[in-house]
Amino acid sequence: MTEETGMICVSRPTNPTGNVITDEELIKLDALANQHGVPLVIDNAYGVPFPGIIFSDARPLWNPNIVLCMSLSKLGLPGSRCGIIIANEKIITAISNMNGIISLAPGGIGPAMMCEMIKRQDLLRLSETVIKPFYYQRVQETIAIIRRYLPEERCLIHKPEGAIFLWLWFKDLPISTELLYQRLKKRGVLMVPGDYFFPGLDKPWPHTHQCMRMNYVPDPQKIEAGVKILAEEVEFAWREQEA
C-alpha cells in the first residue's frame, strides 16, 4: 500500500482459477482498506449470497467501506445484463450519475425479476438448491472427463472452489499455450491461453505460457469431445519435441 493506492480490489471467487479467499483473508483486506482510507471492492459475480457458485465455506461481508459488485447474468439470466452494486450512499450517487450519462436506457427486465424473486423469497433458495448443485455436478463431471484423457503428468487442475472455469496447468509443455490455443481453434475447440491473466509482471515467468482457462458449463458430451481433441494436441506437441 502506498499513497498512490486508491482502492483494494479482489474477486471472490477469482477468474480464472476459481480460487476463493477465506473469510479471514477478506476481513484482513477490509481492515487494511479501512486503515488506509480506501474502499475495498469485491467482485462477487459468482459469490455469496447469490448466485452462490462457491464450493468452499464462505460468508458474505459488507460495511460502508466495501463496494460489493454482483450480477444477475450468473444467476442464469445472461440476457438481462443487470449488474448490482451495494455501497455507501456517496458512491452509489456517483455511480448513478455516471450511469445516467453512459447508460441512457438500462434494461428493466432484470431488476423487475430480481424484485419479484426477493418478494417471493426465491432468490436464496434458487441459488442453494438449483444453481450451486448444477455447477458442482458439472465441474465434477468435467474433471472426471479430463482425467480419462489427460493424466496428471500431462495436465494439473487447480482446485475448483467456485466460478464456472477450470484452470489447467500443462507443466513443461514443449509449446506455448498460445500456440496450443491456435491449434485447438482450428479444430473447433476454444479455450483461453493463460498469458492474458498475468499482466504487469516485472520479469518473464514460464508458468504464464503453460496454463489455460476452460469453461466447464457445456453439456458433458461436448466437453468430452473437446477434451479428447485437447489431449490429442497435447500429445502431438510432446511427440514433436521427441522427434
Structural domain for 54, as ranges: 8-121
Tell me, yes or no, whether 3 lies in a domain.
Answer: no
Q: Could you report the per-residue pLDDT of 158-179, keeping only the tens digit for each?
A: 999 999 999 999 999 999 999 9
Query: Looking at 96, 121, 146, which one is the last position of a domain?
Result: 121
Q: Could you report the per-residue pLDDT of 31-49, keeping only the tens digit for each?
A: 999 999 999 999 999 999 9
What's the rounded Cα separation, in Å, for the pair 85 and 94?
12
What's the rounded Cα separation, in Å, for the pair 53 and 74?
9
Residue with cell 442464469: 76
30 and 53 together in one domain: yes
| DSSP state, residue 131 | I
Residue type, 100: G
Tell me, yes or no, whether 92 lies in a domain.
Answer: yes
| DSSP state, residue 226 | H
Q: Any idea how long the chain is?
A: 243
Mean pLDDT over 143-163 rounds to: 97
22 and 44 together in one domain: yes
Tell me, yes or no, whether 34 lies in a domain.
Answer: yes
Q: Which of 4, 23, 3, 1 is nearest to 12 (CA)?
A: 23
Residue type, 158: H
| Lowest-pLDDT choice from 79-83, 128-132, 226-230 | 79-83
* Dihedral sign (CA 99, 103, 106, 110): negative
Q: Could you report the per-residue pLDDT of 58-117, keeping only the tens digit for each?
A: 999 999 999 999 988 877 777 777 889 999 999 999 999 998 888 777 778 888 888 999
Query: Looking at 121, 138, 154, which one is the last position of a domain?
Result: 121
State the CATH number of the domain containing residue 62.
3.40.640.10
Cα–Cα–Cα angle for 37, 41, 42, nearest 5°? 140
223 and 134 together in one domain: yes
Tell me, yes or no, whether 2 lies in a domain.
Answer: no
Does residue 207 surpass a pLDDT of 90?
Answer: yes
Alpha helices in 87-205 (DSSP H): 89-102, 109-119, 123-126, 132-149, 177-186
178 and 238 together in one domain: yes
What's the rounded Cα separation, in Å, for the pair 158 and 210?
13
Q: Judge whether 166 and 203 are in contact, CB under 8 Å.
A: no
Quick check: bond before 16 cis, omega within 30? yes
169 and 226 together in one domain: yes
Does residue 7 surpass a pLDDT of 90?
Answer: yes
Task: Count H helices and E strands in the chain, helices first.
Answer: 7, 8
Query: pTM score, two decimals?
Result: 0.91
State the CATH number of the domain containing residue 231.
3.90.1150.10
Q: Which of 194, 184, 196 is nearest to 228 (CA)?
A: 184
Tell me, yes or no, whether 62 lies in a domain.
Answer: yes
Domain count, the chain: 2
